[in-house]
Amino acid sequence: MNKFATILVLASICLAGVSAQCPRIVTRAQWGARAASTAQLPIRPAPWVVMHHTAGAACTTDAACAQQMRNIHCGVSLGHIASNYWLIGHRQAVATACPGNAFFNEIRNWPRFNPNV
């Protein structure tokens, strides 16, 4: 279920619309974080979605996986991610093996994947 759930969640980026309310995002200032050590993203909305291995709560039920998909859609609906975004793998941006070969080969077939980064 975990591999399926991860692909299900990440594939949701290719879908349009948000059918549920977006989660409340807590800013760094609101949770008392120290000042950022690097600059904020200078381009808004972000023109790329970088596919990375998932971290955090695993979804093990259809309902939990669906909620994670809705959360990803919120980036577009709230204007943080451009509606005409390009999809890239983390390995295209920095020297890493992430995402793994099997998943990277999968996203290479997705409509918004950009091989020219």
Report pLDDT digits (tens) over 55-65. 555 667 888 77
CATH of the domain at 92: 3.40.80.10
8 Å CB contact between 109 and 94: no
What percent of the residues of the chain are helix, what percent strand, and what percent coil, each to the nearest 5?
35, 15, 50
What is each CA distance from 87 to 43, 58, 61, 82, 109, in whole angstroms? 16, 22, 26, 11, 11
DSSP 8-state code for residue 28: T
C-alpha dihedral (107, 109, 115, 117), degrees to nearest 10:
-30
pLDDT exceeds 80 at position 4: no
pLDDT exceeds 70 at position 41: no
Per the domain annotation, does 70 fall within a domain? yes
Domain that holds residue 99: 47-54+62-116
pTM value is 0.58
Total of domains in the chain: 1
